Amino acid sequence: QAQLVESGGGLVQPGGSLRLSCAASGSRFRFLAMAWYRQAPGKQRELVARINVSGSTNYADSVKGRFTISRDNAKSTVSLQMNSLKPEDTAVYYCNTYSQSLSWGQGTQVTVSS
């Protein structure tokens, strides 16, 4: 089964930016709708952004206009550009298929704080 490795998290001040990356192993990446999820302390994991095989995208209302999801099928990677970060964006961020069909990786911690 494909494995997922997230990277790019860190500590950033409110209003700052981060770019997350997710590397997926396996040959079926280009046929899969991919997504970024996040889980804040004490909360359930939630969908942040989705990118379909066609490249079309969807975003949670809370991040619309601030986050951009993209994919590189040649490298089997999916990225999340996060701008204008807010303290409420603090969470562990994970990637997976939109159907959550792969085993979850370790995620990458994003902390937005002054």
Q: What is the pLDDT of residues 18-72, one digit of tens each?
A: 999 999 987 788 899 999 999 999 999 999 999 999 999 999 999 999 999 999 9
| Residue 52 β-bridge partners | none
Q: Which of 90, 79, 24 is CA-nearest to residue 57? A: 79
Q: What is the pLDDT of residues 79-95, one digit of tens each?
A: 999 999 999 999 999 99
Q: Which of 39, 110, 108 is CA-nearest to residue 78? A: 108
Token digits of residue 38:
């996040």
**Backbone phi, psi, residue 65, to 5°:** 90, -10
Confidence (pLDDT) at 97: 94
Confidence (pLDDT) at 23: 95
Confidence (pLDDT) at 11: 98
Confidence (pLDDT) at 28: 87
Assign 102 to helix, strand or coil.
coil
